[in-house]
Amino acid sequence: MKIATIVGARPQFIKAATLSRVIKNFTAIHEIIIHTGQHYDPNMSGIFFEELNIPEPDINLEIGSGNHGKQTARMLEGIEEVLLREKPDWVLVYGDTNSTIAGALAAAKLNIKIAHVEAGLRSFNRSMPEEINRIATDHISDVLFAPTQNAMQLLAKEGLADKAVFSGDVMYDSIEYYKIIAEKKCFLHNIIKEEPGKYFLATVHRQENTDQIKNLQSIFLAFSELDMPVIVPLHPRTLKLMDEITYRSNVKIINPVGYLDMITLLSNCHKVLTDSGGLQKEAFFLKKPCITLREETEWIETLEGGWNYIVGANKLKIIEKVNANHVQEQKYYFGDGKASEKIIEYMSKNA
Ligand code: UD1
Ligand code: UDP
């Protein structure tokens, strides 16, 4: 059986690392990795392949950045060519990026079966490019691997129950596996000077915060008023805007880091402030309270007990919720850490 895995953006490399490791245990499965080139800076792409031992992409389409339509169209053209040549049994796509929809659409047009990992997530905000990508991908895929029961229910509401399979969350598998490696290999003081528990960890990259400079400014003014250093490994999209933004010296901007360093920064921080989807969950997994710099979240399970607060870009709300409490207990919604095995077993039986 041949699987063509489509990746292109940072969070997809992390998810693919975990599935590729499982695929290696199935001798009857041959995986080819197609990298669209959506992310290309060494610290947004290459570092993940190296440190997570992801097999080198068989093909890198090197599409790079661009407007949504042009970028997606170029990926579609490139992926189609590869699929025609490679004739895989399955195309495997992750999440909700432009690489996801391009991979799914290319496969759908060629009648190749599509597996969508992290299906059934909805923000109900169609101004987000990710919401369009994930709805479209879910509706043209053949199997929808849902990370939570809530995702299963949302798929059922859209008439997709017969294609939905509860797998659990691949990112939970990832962090369970890599946190042990990070503990052995990474040291906080090799990354930053701050002491454990004495800094906030923040990331910002979503279109709603970067395209509206007043939102970005408001977020950084809130960071500036916090009573501890705020470590911000900053996505290149946001880094390019920082000349226009005012902030105080407690805000420490660093380049994006690899996944193992990120786990180390997360494990040692006081709380997390982010607009990232993946980081909201990882904060929950490692029991760090999170303040989400968006108007909604797809990961509603994390809101229970005050583990995650939705605050948007509003400075006062950010500061208020940084100081809010959370209960100690957490319920587990994200599977048993074996989502990747379930996904590959299903695909293997249904090739
Ligand atoms: C994409 C995803 C988003 C995901 C994020 C993960 C879409 C629509 N969005 O957003 O859902 O949360 O990846 O990180 O697919 N850039 C660089 N170097 C790089 C990559 C990007 O400088 O290696 C800069 C470019 O200026 C580019 C901008 O970042 O125009 C945005 O990159 P793009 O891949 O279009 O979207 P992301 O914001 O990364
Ligand atoms: N991440 C990382 N280095 C960084 C910032 C984030 O390894 O400097 C990881 C983070 O731990 C999570 C993933 O990247 O696993 C999230 O990706 P991102 O925030 O870019 O995308 P999203 O999840 O919002 O789609």
Concerning whether 235 is annotated as a catalytic residue, the answer is no
Q: Is the pTM of this model over 0.95?
A: yes
Cβ atoms of residues 344 and 29 within 8 Å: yes
Q: How many domains does the chain have?
A: 2
Task: Report CA(314)–ligand 2 centroid distance (Å).
Answer: 22
Residues 126 and 224 in one domain: no
Same domain, 243 and 157: no
Task: Please report whether residue 39 resides in a domain.
Answer: yes
User: Of these residues, 205, 235, 270, 326, which one is catalytic?
Assistant: 205
Query: One digit per residue, pLDDT tens: the chain, 351 residues?
Result: 999 999 999 999 999 999 999 999 999 999 999 999 999 999 999 999 999 999 999 999 999 999 999 999 999 999 999 999 999 999 999 999 999 999 999 999 999 999 999 999 999 999 999 999 999 999 999 999 999 999 999 999 999 999 999 999 999 999 999 999 999 999 999 999 999 999 999 999 999 999 999 999 999 999 999 999 999 999 999 999 999 999 999 999 999 999 999 999 999 999 999 999 999 999 999 999 999 999 999 999 999 999 999 999 999 999 999 999 888 889 989 999 999 999 999 999 998
Q: How far is the centre of ligand 2, averaged over its atoms, from the C-alpha of 12 (Å)?
A: 9
Q: Which residues contact 37 (CB under 8 A, 6 or more apart)?
A: 8, 60, 61, 62, 63, 64
Q: Are residues 17 and 90 in the same domain?
A: yes
Instruction: Tell me: do 152 and 200 sit in the same domain.
Output: no
Residue 19: φ, ψ to 5°: -70, -40
How far apart are alpha carbons 165 and 250 in whole angstroms?
Answer: 45
- Does 289 reside within a domain? yes
Could you tell me if 253 and 125 lie in one domain? no
Of 192, 276, 290, 308, which is best to mutate to test ligand 2, by the most ligand atoms within 8 angstroms of its C-beta?
Answer: 276
Residue 185 CA to ligand 1 center (angstroms) comes to 28
Range of the domain at 119: 2-169+335-349
Atom 28 (ligand 1): residue with closest C-alpha?
A: 237
Residue 327 lies inside a defined structural domain of this protein: no
277 lies in a domain?
yes
Distances (CA, A) of 22 to 137, 148, 170, 179: 24, 21, 11, 17
Residues 218 and 135 in one domain: no
Nearest to 57 by CA among 125, 106, 8: 8
Name all residues whose Cβ lies below 6 A of ligand 2.
Answer: 10-11, 14, 203, 233, 256-259, 262, 276-279, 282
Q: Give the distance (Å) from ligand 1 centre to CA of residue 247.
A: 23
